[in-house]
Amino acid sequence: MKTLIIIDVQNDFMPGGSLAVPNGDKIVPIINKVQDQFDLIVASQDWHPRDHVSFASNHPGRKPYDVIHIHGQPQTLWPDHCVQETFGAQFHPELNTERWDAIFRKGTDREIDSYSAFYDNGHMKSTGLADYLKEKGASQIFICGLAADICVYYSLYDAFKEGFACFFIEDASQPLDVEGFQLIKDKMAYLGIQIISSEDIH
């Protein structure tokens, strides 16, 4: 079963949002266009409590993009983003959600950060996505969304580790760090994740 996973296409990651990804809004029409080529469509949604451990505002004396250690793991501190029940946490208003089969929320535990749609960063908690996909008979997993170098990459990595054939839809994704993104793509290629464009989906 050919499956599309749409990662975190939310208002706070759009231009003007609190954690804006450059050109993040440009991927919305591309994602809308490819959806009819998939048997199963799943989305992830960053859904943080206001006191989330990843927010710089919850660490006095720290500023966004500082790195600290939490539970033995390096933790980048971010601007407050995708706070539960806020406009910033909502999906982009032009994103077509009608054909989605499920939404998996992540980052809901204040104590742990979750880039991947499958697991938190320390692999302490599962979102249940891997079991859901296996139960549905998913085999080929196509992943796109925001940000390509963070949540999309970690979702691809976990999907690969779970044994799925993985495809990264590059033109339906945008990175936060444009200059450093080539290194991430090299990592994908090394793992055997196929990098494709939306025009390659048949």
pLDDT of residue 177: 94
Query: In the structure, what pLDDT confidence band is assigned to residue 201 with cuts at 50, 70 and 90?
Result: very high
Per-residue confidence band for 70, with pLDDT thresholds at 50, 70 and 90: confident
Find the mean pLDDT for residues 80-98: 98
Helix segments in the chain, DSSP class H: 28-34, 129-136, 153-161, 181-191
151 noted as active-site residue: yes
Confirm if 102 and 42 have CB atoms less than 8 A apart.
yes
Give residue-wise pLDDT tens across range 103-144: 999 999 999 999 999 999 888 889 999 999 999 999 999 999
Contact 107, 47 (CB under 8 A): yes
Give the separation between CA 44 and CA 185, rounded to whole angstroms.
21
19, pLDDT greater than 90: yes
Bridge-based pairing of strands 73-76 and 67-70 is antiparallel
Q: Does residue 169 come out as left (phi exceeding 0), alpha (psi in the -120 to 50 range) or beta?
A: beta
Q: What is the pLDDT of residues 133-162, one digit of tens each?
A: 999 999 999 999 999 999 999 999 999 999
Is 106 among the residues known to form the active site? yes
Please confirm, yes or no, whether 36 is among the known catalytic residues.
Answer: no
Residue 140 pairs in a beta bridge with: 2, 165
Residue 155: what pLDDT?
98
CA of residue 55 relative to chain centroid, distance:
17
Share of the chain above pLDDT 70, in %: 100
Choose, from 12, 46, 80, 106, the residue flagged as catalytic: 106
pLDDT band at 202 (very low <50, low <70, confident <90, very high): confident
Q: Which CATH number fits domain 2-49+84-200: 3.30.930.10, 3.50.30.60, 3.30.420.40, 3.40.50.850?
A: 3.40.50.850
Say what the pTM is. 0.96
Mean pLDDT score, 19-24: 97
115 HSE (CA, 13 A, CB side): 21
Q: How far apart are CA 74 and CA 122, in angstroms?
A: 10
pLDDT over 90 at 14, yes or no: yes
Considering the candidates 8, 12, 149, 158, report the single residue annotated as catalytic.
8
Q: Of 82, 144, 151, 166, which is the active-site residue?
A: 151
Domain spans in the chain, listed from the N-terminal domain onward: 2-49+84-200
